[in-house]
Amino acid sequence: MSAERHYLGAARRETPRSLRPNAGTPSHAWARYLDVIRHGLLMIDDAGRVIVSNAPAERLLTNFLPPSRKLGARPLLRALCAGTGKPRREVFRSLRQGRDRRTAVSFEVRDQGLTLQVELNPAEEQGWIATIEDVSARKASEARADEAARQDPLTGLPNRLLLQERLSEALVRLHRNGEKCALLLVDLDRFKPVNDTLGHPIGDALLKKVADRLRSAVRPTDTVARIGGDEFIIVQAGIREASDTQALARRLVDLIGRTYMIDGHLLTIGASVGVALAPNDGDASETLLKNADLALYRAKVDGRGTYRFFEPEMDARMQARRRLELDMRQALARREFQLHYQPQMQLDGDRLIGCEALIRWKHPERGAVSPLDFIPLAEEIGLIVPIGDWVIRQACRDAMHWPAHMAVAVNVSPAQFKSDRLVETIMSALAGSGLPARRLEVEITEGVLLQENEKTLRTLHRLRELGVRVSMDDFGTGYSSLSYLRSFPFDKIKIDRSFVKDLSSKPDGDAIIRAIAGLGKSLGMTTVAEGVETPEQMQRIREEGCTDVQGYLISRPIPADDLMTFLASYPPHA
Ligand code: C2E
Ligand code: MG
Ligand code: MG
């Protein structure tokens, strides 16, 4: 009350000369002209009495007064104050400041669905001139636009912007009263193939159903947001312990993994979920998002369709990965890669008929890095394409120094098949080196045939038309090696070395090799046993009917220069 009085000052005894004090409508004839102004207009004296008001002002302001009250008394100011939603003390303080500085004071007043913009300008001698604008429509459309800007149009879920706000709010609650929360990053597995093969309308319908299931899995206090094509985030609020979140993560994986019926198609996708808990795994948005992302990455690496909670060593592992990536990116330019060659021997006549090119990386600090440690990462980040190009060109060049009957085999990764450039690269490597196509072999694993089968098969056929031979590597280790043998007429089957190892260690260890050798024979394909290390294994391989062998018994993979020496002295006991 004191603030009010202070602003209003002691009511002056003398009245303004130009206007007659009147707590109601203006009595001056000219004042009626004010009615044609679209905005509300008021003149208020320092005592808070309304001296002049136009019709729009009366119309707008009556909404703010209890029915019994008349416009013009202090209740008007009180009602306006209440409508600002701010403490009355604060409103009067700003009025006082406006008065002192002779600047306009403006505030928004809201009540019963109306929003008014009230601006008070200190009048010349005393009191205020107030303009009142009805901004309800504008505010409503702003609010709608605001909501739209925070919503994903397809699913109606909050988008990244609103998610950020909700997460910030949750973190404020965490800091203020220790209310824990969790961030769950959900990534759909196998969504892309649905979208690519059945079309976007089906993909969209599927996303909507996923959104519904996610919504149904959380409480009203949680937030589910869509932040990308098939990526969702859940902010789980007010959790007591990690098991609350674990239960939710498990529920999400289960719910998303159930089949969907869309437009007559029975669809199955999965969800990988990465979880970060606040405050344990961070108490800032960026840290939590980063850590949930690391956990999601782990969930995917661990086979998808599962959830993982963030653990600090994930961060360390990711940093090591990043360092490896950086080093690998430089390795090509720094000529740190080298090719070693491992000879293959034909059992009929014990002749060397070719070599497999195997990449070696000698890093100045890391030393020799095994292909098993860097090829998977190179595939994942696409770096295998330039590295693989180099391998093909180098192998063709090296093979030109070998006896004319010897072939060179290169390993080609799934990512290289995806890149569209493979056939051109091979053609230009052959042309550049002068190596006849029949002396080049391409080794592929099941992974190549698992992806975009049609396109891959077309590429394989084009290679075959060029005269390049195609081998199925690591045969027997995948899920459906047999069905792949039917899909393409391979020239060669390379029996994985795990079966050769089984020869001596398992009672029926020879059954598989015998079966594959028989299969190769009837399909007209060469069968190479990989990883032959001992004379006994060699003997057994011969007996089972394989046509070729490769392994340490003949030679380990050796540098190109040493290979020349090796070839010159072969066969060793001749
Ligand atoms: P892979 O194509 O199946 O190659 C055969 C692997 O078995 C080679 O390992 C070879 O050194 C090893 N090996 C050969 N004989 C024996 C033996 O008697 N005993 C034992 N224990 N091992 C034997 P390496 O060189 O470490 O290569 C591993 C894998 O890395 C290769 O398996 C291949 O999948 C991949 N790789 C190697 N070079 C390249 C390349 O240039 N491009 C691509 N995309 N992958 C490559
Ligand atoms: Mg191979
Ligand atoms: Mg192999």
The string of pLDDT tens digits covering residues 83-102 is: 778 887 887 788 788 878 88
The confidence score (pLDDT) of residue 396 equals 98
Please indicate whether residue 347 or residue 69 has the higher confidence score (pLDDT).
Answer: 347
Residue 2 or residue 423, greater confidence: 423
Query: Closest Cα to atom 34, ligand 1: which residue?
Result: 411
User: What's the confidence (pLDDT) of residue 29?
Assistant: 60
Protein residue whose Cα sits closest to atom 13 of ligand 1: 531
Tokens of 476: 């027997």
User: Per residue in 358-412, pLDDT tens?
Assistant: 999 999 999 999 999 999 999 989 999 999 999 999 999 999 999 999 999 999 9
- More confidently predicted of 25 and 450: 450
- Quote the pLDDT of residue 154: 96
pLDDT for the residue numbered 159: 96
- Which sequence spans correspond to the domains of the chain? 3-140, 152-310, 331-568
Q: Are 80 and 94 in contact (CB under 8 A)?
A: no
Helix (H, G, I), strand (E, B) or coil at 262: strand
Residue closest via CA to ligand 1's atom 2 equals 411
More confident of the two residues 116 and 331:
331
Question: What local confidence, expressed as pLDDT, does residue 408 receive?
Answer: 98
Q: What is the mean pLDDT of residues 110-138?
A: 86
Q: Percent of the chain scored above 90 by pLDDT? A: 67
Tell me the average pLDDT across 298-316.
Answer: 94
Mutate which of 336, 341, 345, 358 to test ligand 1's pocket (most atoms within 8 Å of Cβ)? 358
CATH code for the structural domain at 152-310: 3.30.70.270
pLDDT at 82: 76
Q: Average per-residue pLDDT in the chain?
A: 88
Q: What is d(CA 135, CA 110) in angstroms, rounded to the nearest whole number?
A: 10
Least confident of 45-54, 113-122, 227-236, 318-327: 45-54
Q: Which carries the bigger pLDDT value, residue 529 or residue 9?
A: 529
**Does domain 331-568 fall into CATH 3.30.1490.20?**
no
Report which protein residue has its CA nearest ligand 1's atom 12.
531
For ligand 1, residues with CB inside 6 Å are: 342, 358-359, 370-372, 375, 384, 388, 391, 411, 413, 443, 473-474, 497, 531-533, 550-552, 557
Tell me, what amino acid is at 410? V
With a cut of 80, say whether residue 62 has pLDDT above it: no
- Give residue 73's pLDDT: 46
**CA-based nearest residue to 452, from 232, 145, 197:** 197
Which pLDDT value is given to residue 31?
63
Residue 267 main-chain phi, psi, to 5 deg = -115, 145
Strands 558-559 and 526-529: unpaired
Residue 56 pLDDT grade (very low, low, confident, very high; cuts 50, 70, 90)? confident
Nearest Cα to 399, choosing from 438, 432, 440? 440
Cα atoms in the Cβ-side hemisphere of radius 13 Å centred on 544: 28
pLDDT at 308: 97
Model confidence at 483, in pLDDT bands (50, 70, 90)?
Answer: confident
Give the residue-averaged pLDDT of 316-328.
92
Residue 476's pLDDT band (cuts 50, 70, 90): confident
CATH 3.30.450.20 fits 3-140, yes or no: yes
pLDDT tier at 80, thresholds 50, 70, 90: confident
Distance from residue 531's CA to the centre of ligand 1 (Å): 9
Could you read off the pLDDT of 170-187 as tens digits, one per residue? 999 999 999 999 999 999
Q: How far is the CA of 124 from the centre of ligand 2 (A)?
A: 93
- 10 Å Cβ neighbour count for 82? 16
Q: pTM (2 decimals)?
A: 0.68
